[in-house]
Amino acid sequence: MNFLKWFYSGVVVTAVIVIIGVVGQGNLFVSQATADDVQRPVHADIVKVEHKFSLVEFDLSRKAHLLRKTRLDFYIAQAKQADLRGWKFKRDEFVERVENIISHHLTQHASDTAKDAELYTAQAI
């Protein structure tokens, strides 16, 4: 008899979870972007970061550059979603991450260029 109680309790809990999943379809949680969301303007910080991102050059044959570009695309998309949902703290966090990655990329690029220039100069002498 004790086994039947556990069995029926398991069936009921499973059924409730399935019903909530099917009926809810994520409506109670973060939903996907809708067509109306495209019409909304994004925050000025996101526009500024997108402009910086468009000016940065990436050598996609280098793995580090490809990874950075992929991460930047991801974080910009996340910042836009957070902005559309009204999550100001998350939006600011993603924008800050994008700025940090761009800053690191430019610093690394300048360092690599300086090393290449030294090597070229040493070979020329």
Higher local confidence (pLDDT), 52 or 15: 52
Residue 3 has a pLDDT of 77
Q: Which residue has the tokens 């690599």?
A: 112
Where is average pLDDT lowest: 17-26, 44-53, 88-97, 113-122? 17-26
Q: Specify the range with the lowest mean pLDDT, choosing from 51-60, 99-108, 113-122.
A: 113-122
pLDDT tens profile 75-117 = 999 999 999 988 999 999 999 999 999 999 999 878 877 877 7
Is 60 exceeded by the pLDDT of residue 29? no
pLDDT bucket at 25, cuts 50 / 70 / 90: low
Q: Whole-angstrom distance between the N-terminal and C-terminal Cα of the chain?
A: 92
Amino acid 54: pLDDT: 93
Contact 58, 68 (CB under 8 A): yes
Residue 66 identity (one-letter amino acid)? L
pLDDT of residue 38: 61
Contacts of 54 (CB under 8 A, 6+ apart): none
Q: What is the pLDDT at residue 75?
A: 96
Relative orientation angle of helices 88-124 and 44-55, to the nearest 10 degrees: 20
3-class state of residue 28 by DSSP: coil
